[in-house]
């Protein structure tokens, strides 16, 4: 279970009502789920954001969507500020998403701080990720081991409990 009480498996894949993982999953299945989830998050960011982003900003938003879902980004002050061209204010908004059950959660606080650090960095490259034009994530084949190593994610493919992370995706 994640901090919101949702069942997860692998690298933090939220188990849908239509999915069953009796007996757990193998590492390759966890990696495939991670790739699919990251690609969904990338498409959501590309669809919702109407301004140019640095690679670090794009990466931070992909992690945010991976963790919280596209609906949360779509309805957020973060996205409203960003699409108004207020990049600094939008980055600061990341830090407000650290609550679980109405209280600050240490794990979410750490994750949001890592996203904020990504936001202020150039990310993997200096090139801007332009919404609708693809990104370095979308143009490269998904490498789940690289994502997991870079993010500090650890999978326990036999257990559907929350996967902890040292920093954001």
122-167 pLDDT, tens digit per residue, is: 755 444 444 443 444 444 457 665 655 555 555 544 444 333 332 2
> Residue 129, SS3?
strand
17-69 pLDDT, tens digit per residue, is: 999 999 999 999 999 999 999 999 999 999 999 999 999 999 999 999 999 99
The domain in which residue 15 lies consists of: 8-151
| CA pair distance 1, 58, nearest whole angstrom | 27
Residue 36 within any structural domain of the chain: yes
What is the torsion angle, in degrees rounded to the nearest 10, for the CA atoms of residue 67, residue 72, residue 77 and residue 81? 70
Residue 168 within any structural domain of the chain: no
Residue 158 within any structural domain of the chain: no
Residue 40 within any structural domain of the chain: yes
Residue 66 belongs to domain with CATH number: 1.10.530.40
Residue 165 within any structural domain of the chain: no
Residue 104 within any structural domain of the chain: yes
| CA pair distance 165, 51, nearest whole angstrom | 29
Q: How many domains does the chain have?
A: 1
Residue 169 · residue 62 · CB < 8 Å: yes
Task: Record the pTM.
Answer: 0.77
Residue 2 within any structural domain of the chain: no
Residue 95 within any structural domain of the chain: yes
């Amino acid at each position: 279970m994640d901090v919101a009480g949702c069942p997860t498996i692998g690298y933090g894949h939220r188990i849908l009502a239509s999915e069953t993982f009796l007996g757990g999953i193998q590492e390759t299945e966890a990696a495939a789920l991670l790739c699919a989830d990251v690609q969904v998050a990338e498409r959501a960011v590309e669809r919702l954001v109407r301004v140019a982003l640095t690679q670090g900003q794009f990466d931070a938003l992909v992690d945010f969507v991976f963790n919280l879902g596209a609906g949360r980004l779509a309805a957020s002050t973060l996205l409203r500020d960003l699409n108004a061209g207020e990049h600094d204010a939008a980055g600061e908004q990341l830090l407000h998403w650290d609550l679980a059950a109405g209280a600050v959660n240490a794990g979410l606080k750490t994750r949001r701080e890592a996203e904020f650090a990504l936001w202020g960095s150039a990310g993997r490259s200096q090139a801007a990720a332009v919404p609708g034009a693809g990104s370095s994530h979308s143009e490269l084949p998904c490498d789940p081991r690289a994502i997991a190593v870079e993010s500090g994610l650890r999978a326990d493919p036999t257990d559907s409990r929350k996967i902890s992370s040292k920093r954001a995706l």
